[in-house]
Structure 1
Amino acid sequence: MKKLIPPLLAVTLLLTAAVFRLQPAAADKLPYTDISASYAKDAIIRLHANNVMKGTSESLFSPTRSITRAEFMTTLTRIFQVNPAESAVPAYRDVPKSAWYYGTIQAATELGLTEGMGDGIFQPEQPLTRQEAAAWLVRALKQTVSSANAPTSYKDETSIAVWAKPYIGSISQLGLMQGSGGMFYPAQAITRQETAVILDRLLQDKRWTDAIAANSNPGIRIGWQYGQSTEAYKKSVLQSNVNVLAPRWYFLESTGKISDSSVPPLITWAKSNGKQVWAMVGNRFDQETTHKMLASSSLSSDAIQSLKSYVQKYGLNGINVDFENIAASDRSLFTSFISKLAQELHSVSAVLSVDLPPDLGTDWSDAYNYAELAKSADYLVVMAYDEHWSGASAGSVASLGWVQKHLDKLLAKVPADQLVLGMPLYTRDWSLSGNGATLSSEDISLPEQNNRVSQYGVKPKWNAAAGQYTVEYRKNGTLHKIWLEDARSLSEKYRLGAKYGIAGYAYWHIGGDSPDVWTSLKNAEKYEGFSFK
């Protein structure tokens, strides 16, 4: 039946990567007055023409000057067509938001191209060494590094840092960097003309340019509507990477019937903007009414036919089922309901997605037979948040390790191309007692989170294991702690999903986001779509 579903991304949702068309060097007119004697002249001309590498002023390139860490990383992100990320939370103490390179260093960090020098320091104005350049290039091209113990064949191998040896081995095999006279000079600062030659060499190689130019499949990007008017929701969707709208239109009522609150103009708008609509049907966490409907063949049949009729009446692309707090004893009934609903929706070429909690091994998730549900539904949307919930012990809403653990668990039962990762556009502000016990917690949006970080003048600390920043502040003598969700933490989760090859992502909820996160997520979508050989 799934073959009957129109491909979501076949026509309207393809991302087209721009192709680098390297211009020939023009000998009669040089873009800079100081490159005529440089061995990198032709490379500099091509990189300038393609807006990849710029000079140190309008007329000077400064070919023999060392390139700084900020300059090199900025140039590297241009090659991959990554946009500067004006992230709300700076990754480094020495890279202020006012710096010209802030956005490119943020973007590179969020994509995992660099982690700086450690301890929240990047040293942007420091000259880049040849071994550092090798590491950044190999990471950026997603290459598997050589063994740390493998010889590099360079005469000055003993001068190569232990951490750099695998990268130098790999970059040499790729043919992008070579030494001179059998020497690599790993600790030597790399010049701007050397950089130009290396990057031009990269852009002359079809291995890399074909991958950058290739169309990538953006996958599913669901944006749930909650607490927003239709107009506000549309505005939020347009600034996001969402390609599937999930408005909350249908609810299981106490009568066992499915109510209809459809907004047809939103469907028209979505279609005109190349987006699909998978309207959500919820049960309001009402366990008793859900059992009543599932246990009744007539009520469940009526509910299925109602949803099918809404699809046909309004021209919906699909239905998103969000039934939560189902009794574990109703496990088989819910599985059967989804199977029958899938048959009816597939008969009218509609998509069925089902929202599910992670497999927690508790009564909150015991009602869901993940493997069986995947045999009927087209997509299972795992709501990978509420790791720590209101009223429980303080902690992250969705730490990276926790998300990974549950993805691993589900992927043992569900094909990756049917799994959609739900990500939080909210977090919690925890009030703690003197001994660290939870006093209370408050759900907050990402803009409110950012406001509090600014208001209390706190400096976020990166927790690599959690894949998040944390902050602490005091209000009226009470200690508060927040595990931040921001552009970097969300990019980390996005990259994790891409590593597993999942079908897509879903965001709870649109309107809770800080506008800056979308540039970062779009960068992740683009960069993770590159497949380098």
Structure 2
Amino acid sequence: MVIYKVKPGDSLWNIARFFNVPIQSIIAVNGLNRPEELIVGMDLVIPNDSLQRDRIYTVKPGDTLWSIAARYNVPISRIIFLNNLTPPYLIFPNQTLIISTAEDENIFKPAIETLGYYDPRNVSDKTFIIDALGKYLTYLGIFDFPFIETGDVIGTIDEEILEAAKRENVLVMPVITNLAQGTFSSELGRAVLSDIEKRNNLINNILFLLRKYNLQGVIIDIENLYPEDRNIFTEFISELSQRLHNNNQILILNMPPKWEEWADRPWVGFFDYNALGPLIDIAAIMTYEWGWREGPPRATTPLEFVRRSIDYAIYNNIPANKILMGMTLYGYDWTLPDTPENLARAVVLPEVWDLGRRYNAGINFDYNVKQPYMDYITEEGISHRIWFVNALSHYYKYGLVDEYGLRGVFYWLLNQPLPATWYILSNLFSIRKSLT
């Protein structure tokens, strides 16, 4: 696999000819909406398996042949053979090992888990996304199931969604939220979680929901609680965890990224990583939205911030094998100059391409934050900047999964198109299916 950056004068025909790849393959992998009109700076995935290289690994302190083999889903005997190791098969820090060759790369890949969030509301064909992307997913989070002031949970799952997920061997999980009138409600969260009777009712309703649909776990996405409510939130997660684990069910917790304790800050202050880490099975860390619709124009998922967030989580009682790293499938378009009244507009990659064609704007890539952006000026003379994600920015983030040995990644939101990421994912990793 190669990621190629479009240059002035390029056409899809000459790119395909150079790499000896069918044009239709490039169109399909990248989801090109107008392939005859490429944009300078566009990053294209070239699906040429013959360009694969051997996978090389540098031994770290504490590594064993067993741990390396398990991480990359490769037989120990294969590593021994490729590196001519002799008994007693000792390895040392900074030693370079061949893990697999180009010939067997499709067989031996790191095995990870993936979670995709899906909002089936206002979708006519509710199973299309699952049929198309199910093979890339371990879990499917159905958004959303809000609770109300009594602790009751609102929401249903269509039978056709359950059947489609079952065909693709994907675990369906409801996403429990404190959303009220379109916003995460601090008051609703406090009203329910601080009241023992209402909190118990919420837990009972979650367990009933899992029994009703024969589900194996739940995702908690409670956001924007008051910082001083961190203890009641931790108590709720502790009580829910015990009840779920008594039934051998899975608890996934959506968590905001941070690299300091920030106990008094909104949005992040009520999350006590050290206390929550042992209680949950999976931490879905939302490593994105540093640039967001109500903030100034900046990178939405700068890689250094992502790295610092992962480091902090691991250091604070959330091991790498519990972490799913957040991946977005969208960006934001800001009007310049930025003012508090001008909220950014969410955009997906095909929209970015269309804006580039319309306003003759090229795509730039900031290698400091590992993310693309585009500047354009409308017919009315209004300046805009878009920070977004694409094949190359996702490729860099996938690299952190391998580097840290993370459990995997999650995607917000499957309803948004970014076809190249699925090719990159399947090229780099194999997907664990929990039902096999």
Per the alignment, residue 161 of structure 2 pairs with 266
Which secondary structure state, in structure 2, belongs to the residue aligned with residue 510 of structure 1? coil
Per the alignment, residue 373 of structure 2 pairs with 470
Q: Is the Cα contact below 8 Å between 1:470 and 1:484 reproduced in 2?
A: yes
Q: Is the Cα contact below 8 Å between 1:456 and 1:473 reproduced in 2?
A: yes
Q: Is the Cα contact below 8 Å between 2:42 and 2:363 reproduced in 1?
A: no
Which secondary structure state, in structure 1, belongs to the residue aligned with residue 429 of structure 2? helix
Match of 1:369 among 272, 281, 306: 272
Runs of 5+ consecutive residues of structure 2 not aligned to the other structure: 30-39, 44-50, 60-82, 85-97, 432-436
Residues 1:266 and 1:206: Cα distance change in structure 2 (over 3 Å) = closer
Is 1:406 matched with 2:309?
Answer: yes
Deviation at 1:216, TM superposition (A): 4.1
AA paired with 1:222? Answer: L
Is 1:141 matched with 2:44?
Answer: no
CA distance in 1 between counterparts of 2:320 and 2:153 reads: 31
CA distance in 2 between counterparts of 1:224 and 1:216 reads: 24
Per the alignment, residue 511 of structure 1 pairs with 415
Residues 1:104 and 1:342: Cα distance change in structure 2 (over 3 Å) = farther
AA paired with 1:322? Answer: D
Residues 1:352 and 1:207: Cα distance change in structure 2 (over 3 Å) = closer
Deviation at 1:468, TM superposition (A): 1.6
Residues 1:91 and 1:349: Cα distance change in structure 2 (over 3 Å) = farther
Q: Is the Cα contact below 8 Å between 2:292 and 2:300 reproduced in 1?
A: yes
CA distance in 2 between counterparts of 1:93 and 1:254 reads: 58
Is 1:287 matched with 2:186?
Answer: yes
Which secondary structure state, in structure 2, belongs to the residue aligned with residue 469 of structure 1? strand
Deviation at 1:395, TM superposition (A): 0.4
Deviation at 1:446, TM superposition (A): 2.5
Within a 5 Å distance, the mapping from 1:259-338 to structure 2 comes to: 259-284=154-179, 285-338=184-237
Which secondary structure state, in structure 1, belongs to the residue aligned with residue 418 of structure 2? coil
Match of 1:349 among 241, 248, 262: 248
CA distance in 1 between counterparts of 2:371 and 2:20 reads: 19
Runs of 5+ consecutive residues of structure 1 not aligned to the other structure: 1-81, 111-118, 123-135, 146-173, 176-204, 528-533
Which secondary structure state, in structure 1, belongs to the residue aligned with residue 230 of structure 2? helix
Q: Is the Cα contact below 8 Å between 1:247 and 1:279 reproduced in 2?
A: yes
AA paired with 1:276? Answer: L
Deviation at 1:497, TM superposition (A): 2.2
Match of 1:208 among 67, 85, 101: 101
CA distance in 1 between counterparts of 2:285 and 2:21 reads: 32
Within a 5 Å distance, the mapping from 1:65-144 to structure 2 comes to: 82=1, 90-93=5-8, 96-98=11-13, 99-100=15-16, 101=18, 140-142=54-56
CA distance in 1 between counterparts of 2:55 and 2:153 reads: 50
CA distance in 2 between counterparts of 1:461 and 1:239 reads: 30
CA distance in 1 between counterparts of 2:239 and 2:159 reads: 26
CA distance in 1 between counterparts of 2:294 and 2:348 reads: 18
CA distance in 2 between counterparts of 1:249 and 1:120 reads: 37
Larger deviation: 330-339 or 391-400?
Answer: 391-400
Which secondary structure state, in structure 1, belongs to the residue aligned with residue 362 of structure 2? coil
Deviation at 1:331, TM superposition (A): 0.4
Residues 1:140 and 1:338: Cα distance change in structure 2 (over 3 Å) = same
Is 1:520 matched with 2:434?
Answer: no
Residues 1:320 and 1:397: Cα distance change in structure 2 (over 3 Å) = same
Identity %: 22
Residues 1:245 and 1:143: Cα distance change in structure 2 (over 3 Å) = closer
Per the alignment, residue 380 of structure 1 pairs with 283
Deviation at 1:95, TM superposition (A): 5.4
Deviations 1:119-170 (A, max 9, x none): 9799xxxxxxxxxxxxx99x7533559xxxxxxxxxxxxxxxxxxxxxxxxx
| Larger Rg belongs to | 1
Deviations 1:262-285 (A, max 9, x none): 223312221122111121111111
Per the alignment, residue 239 of structure 1 pairs with 132
Which secondary structure state, in structure 1, belongs to the residue aligned with residue 292 of structure 2? coil
Residues 1:226 and 1:446: Cα distance change in structure 2 (over 3 Å) = farther
CA distance in 2 between counterparts of 1:227 and 1:282 reads: 16
Residues 1:217 and 1:317: Cα distance change in structure 2 (over 3 Å) = farther
Which secondary structure state, in structure 1, belongs to the residue aligned with residue 305 of structure 2? helix
Is 1:225 matched with 2:118?
Answer: yes
Q: Is the Cα contact below 8 Å between 2:109 and 2:428 reproduced in 1?
A: no
Q: Is the Cα contact below 8 Å between 1:355 and 1:380 reproduced in 2?
A: yes
Q: Is the Cα contact below 8 Å between 2:110 and 2:430 reproduced in 1?
A: no
Deviation at 1:464, TM superposition (A): 1.2
The number of equivalent residue pairs is 360
Q: TM-score, normalised by structure 2?
A: 0.74
Within a 5 Å distance, the mapping from 1:419-438 to structure 2 comes to: 419-433=323-337
CA distance in 1 between counterparts of 2:6 and 2:311 reads: 28
Which secondary structure state, in structure 1, belongs to the residue aligned with residue 154 of structure 2? strand
AA paired with 1:325? Answer: N
AA paired with 1:432? Answer: L
